[in-house]
Structure 1
Amino acid sequence: MTKAIFVTGTDTEVGKTVVSCGLIKALQKHSSGLVVNGFKPIAAGAEQSEQGLVNEDGLAIQAVSSSSLSYQTFNPVVLEQAIAPHIAARFAKKPIDTHLMDRGLNELKALSDCVVVEGAGGWHVPLNDNAGTMSQWVANQQLPVLLVVGVKLGCLNHALLSVQAIKASGVRLIGWVANVLNDDEQISTLNIEYLQGAIEAPCVATIPYKTDLKPQSIEKYFNINKLIGEM
């Protein structure tokens, strides 16, 4: 099994955190004793707490991870405003330090059998004003990628463009997840069928519309053997 996998999405708010947490639980369940931790290298949108600034997605990842570690271990770069990370960093007058992201991932890898890394926004989300992007960071880390497709109007174009961009970045797409966000079951099914034929990587989970979003519920939708076979 690979040491880490990166979860990206066709857009923001397509279910990356739901999928990441469900995947962590599915991997833990697949092999008893497997240490699987999550990692949110950067998050924008946070509130002050006893642990300092915390992000809702980061807290969700911390809650399902195998290891009991500080919040900052799971989310080393956290910005207060819920906007594009490079803009939030500019407003906070705090440039994004990718070395913190690098160090955080390496520390978790050393403690884990597998690390599920959740991105922010879509594939090419900017990290700074000098054209640095999350996709470049993933390419530098050479992380295999799992794509979350929000199945709704426009998803075919978004999914195919994302697949093309991931391939062009020089990293490997090892699977995708269909997260159904449209209440028209027939249209959703047809969209998923099209993407299954158009995307070379396998669909490793289909999450039904308005399903229970608890990680323990999401894990059952994963074909974890198929995903591990690609890893």
Structure 2
Amino acid sequence: MKEFFITGTDTDAGKTHVTSLLLKLLAQHKKQAIGFKPLASGCEMAFDQLVNADALILMESATVSAKYDIINPFAFAPAIAPHIAAEQAGVTITADKLSSAYKNVKQQGADYILTEGAGGWALPISNTDYLYNWVKTEQLPVILVVGMKLGCLNHALLTAAHMQSMGINCIGWIANQVDPNIDEYQANLDSLKLRLPFPILAISPYSEQTPKLQIYKTLLENFALNT
């Protein structure tokens, strides 16, 4: 089983968009893949339960089906930081609870599990813990989604530096052009290629048509899709 954690430079970097494209890539290669969205806020009531639009997108893109509660075990209505929403709902999020939920995902029979984080890399899950500690405990290889917009250089480099300080296995980064009007897009892309300590895996250009992913060989190698 291959497992990956997809994080972003900030809240609107496009983690769901990229994770969905990666799941579809695996589907094209006839792989059994599932998405996991452990924490989600900004949920709405549907079918007598809180559901999150991003989690539903992952479910639609996956080739392995599972109940909603398996895909998104912690769902909160307010569109605020999950740990604050959890506190308001009287729910305690712990690394052990996340690991227990992750075990349920592993039991669904997928060959690939793509876990999408919430917000950016330094996401609190309580007043004393962060989601990245759970990622390290589970030893998940990380893919960093860089939202290509003003400020992306600072966000990406700070995130990468923190990952390195923790000894996180970041296998690479994906450039997601969230702003169609970003000035000097190519220059920013080149700057990131030069400065980030991880290889680029893919580029998702801005498109109002069918989303596409320009794939680099490194991504295929990490996903074992090059054979």
Taking structure 2 as the reference length, what is the TM-score of the superposition?
0.91
**1:169-207, Cα deviation, whole Å (9 max, x unpaired):** 221110111111333466111000011111232212212
Counterpart in the other structure of 1:25: 24
Higher helix share: 1
**1:96-144, Cα deviation, whole Å (9 max, x unpaired):** 24333212322323411110000000111100012x0011110111101
Equivalenced residues, count: 222
**Distance of 1:41 and 1:170 partners within structure 2:** 23
Work out which of the residue numbers 132, 157, 173 in structure 2 matches 1:176: 173
Work out which of the residue numbers 111, 116, 134 in structure 1 matches 2:114: 116
SS in 1 for 2:117: strand
Counterpart in the other structure of 1:5: 4
**Distance of 2:19 and 2:48 partners within structure 1:** 22
SS in 2 for 1:128: coil
For 2:218, the aligned partner's letter is K
**1:9-62, Cα deviation, whole Å (9 max, x unpaired):** 000011000000000111221x32x11100001111111111511011111111
Identity of matched residues, %: 37
**Distance of 2:168 and 2:222 partners within structure 1:** 13
| Structure 2: tracts of 5 or more residues without a match | none
**Distance of 1:170 and 1:49 partners within structure 2:** 40
**Distance of 1:73 and 1:229 partners within structure 2:** 29
Counterpart in the other structure of 2:125: 127
Shift of 1:68: 2.0
Work out which of the residue numbers 188, 191, 200 in structure 2 matches 1:191: 188
Alignment of 1:50-129 (within 5 A): 50=47, 52-110=49-107, 111-129=109-127
**Distance of 1:178 and 1:100 partners within structure 2:** 32
Work out which of the residue numbers 149, 157, 160 in structure 2 matches 1:163: 160
Alpha-carbon RMSD across the aligned residues, in angstroms, is: 1.8
SS in 2 for 1:20: helix
* Contact 1:181 1:210 (8 Å CA) reproduced: no
| Structure 1: tracts of 5 or more residues without a match | none
**Distance of 2:167 and 2:106 partners within structure 1:** 22
Shift of 1:73: 0.9
Taking structure 1 as the reference length, what is the TM-score of the superposition?
0.89
**Distance of 2:96 and 2:214 partners within structure 1:** 35
* Cα gap change, 1:128 to 1:211, in 2 (>3 Å): same
Shift of 1:221: 2.5
**Distance of 1:152 and 1:100 partners within structure 2:** 35
**Distance of 2:35 and 2:215 partners within structure 1:** 17
* Cα gap change, 1:140 to 1:51, in 2 (>3 Å): farther
Counterpart in the other structure of 2:214: 221
Counterpart in the other structure of 2:15: 16
